[in-house]
Amino acid sequence: MTIKMTGVWKTFGEGHTAVHALQNIDLANPQGEFTTILGPSGSGKTTLLNLVGAIDDATEGHIEVAGVDLAGLSVDELVKYRRENVGFVFQFFNLIPTLTALENVELVADLTASNGAERAAEVLDRVGLGDRMTHFPAQLSGGEQQRVAIARALVKEPPILLCDEPTGELDFETGRMVLDLLQRVSRELSQTVLLVTHNAAIGDMADRVLKLRSGEIVEDVHNDTPIDATELTW
Ligand SMILES: Nc1ncnc2c1ncn2[C@@H]1O[C@H](COP(=O)(O)OP(=O)(O)OP(=O)(O)O)[C@@H](O)[C@H]1O
Ligand SMILES: [Mg+2]
């Protein structure tokens, strides 16, 4: 799906304590584009993802996804939008500790598929965790937990994938494996991906690299020859 932001502002608070987390953002992402977003802490990266994912709303401006203005959707329509179109992957995995890997994925699969359990098992198999499905998060390594989180985001095959520092907690090898997985699946499904990272090297695998500073886009570079994630090094 295409994402188009025009004149988007996000302001937290009011008056002299107001924080302008995003300032007049204009941005268009075609379907299937893999974009990394870099920028210092507090520059507005997570805020941007939250607006696209309709977890939060813009203070001003328009966000259109596949030509539909999110501001015009009712609460029910927003729930449907998030459920059907958006997959989130977070830095701290956000798995439910009392549920097994399979149950964590099934929770989301059940929302969109009648055969949720079957779909959940399929996707876990695909991320290489076919033999870990009955493990609880605490019994999995960091990379395995992140792969469960990715399976959870992918089980509904969302056209938009939002990843907030998905490799922040992982060592080099594991991080690269997770990026490879994201790259392969997003290409297969032609997903529009926004991936936030502090690691500039990851930009080499992306079609586009955005840099934010103080809520503004200060750099926007297209990359015609993204490398395979397996070739990344840092
Ligand atoms: N709910 C909130 N209430 C008030 N201020 C907020 C809120 N969320 C974010 N902010 C502020 O908005 C700005 C942008 O925050 P954001 O979380 O988007 O930054 P970030 O680029 O993701 O940073 P990091 O790399 O540390 O995750 C920061 O100044 C932050 O303090
Ligand atoms: Mg953040």
Q: For 104-132, how does the pLDDT look when each residue is reduced to its tens digit (9 = 90+)?
A: 999 988 887 788 899 999 999 988 999 99
Q: Is 197 in the pocket of ligand 1 (CB under 6 A)?
A: no
- Report strand pairing: 3-12 vs 19-29: antiparallel
Query: Looking at residue 110, what is its pLDDT?
Result: 85
Query: Looking at residue 126, what is its pLDDT?
Result: 87
Is residue 72 within 8 Å of residue 81, measured between CB atoms? Answer: no
3-class secondary structure, 117: helix
pLDDT in tens, 137-153: 999 999 999 999 999 99
Average pLDDT estimate for 42-52: 97
Is residue 193 within 8 Å of residue 161, measured between CB atoms? Answer: yes
- Report strand pairing: 3-12 vs 60-65: antiparallel
| Atom 25 of ligand 1, nearest CA residue | 41
Average pLDDT estimate for 82-98: 92
Average pLDDT estimate for 76-95: 93
Q: Is 41 in the pocket of ligand 1 (CB under 6 A)?
A: yes
Query: Looking at residue 112, what is its pLDDT?
Result: 78
Average pLDDT estimate for 15-29: 96
Match 């999995």 to its residue by tokens: 140
Cβ < 5 A residues, ion ligand 2: 46
Average pLDDT estimate for 159-186: 92
Q: Is 74 in the pocket of ligand 1 (CB under 6 A)?
A: no
CA 100 and chain centroid, separation: 22
CA 149 and chain centroid, separation: 11
- Mean pLDDT score of the chain, rounded to an integer? 95
| Rounded (5°) CA angle 225-186-158 | 145
Task: Out of 14, 38, 46, give the residue to mutate to test ligand 1, the one with the largest number of ligand atoms within 8 Å of its CB.
Answer: 46
User: How far apart are the C-alpha atoms of 141 and 143, rounded to whole Å?
Assistant: 5
Ligand in nearest proximity to the CA of 19: 1
Copy the structure tokens of residue 197. 């990272």
Maximum Cα interatomic distance, the chain, rounded to a whole number of Å: 55
User: How far apart are the C-alpha atoms of 217 and 94, rounded to whole Å?
Assistant: 28
Residue spans of beta strands (DSSP E) within the chain: 3-12, 19-29, 34-38, 60-65, 68-69, 86-89, 160-164, 192-196, 208-213, 216-222
Q: Is 45 in the pocket of ligand 1 (CB under 6 A)?
A: yes
Q: Reply yes or no on whether the pLDDT at 92 is more than 90.
A: no
What domains appear along the chain, each with residue ranges and CATH number? 3-231 (3.40.50.300)
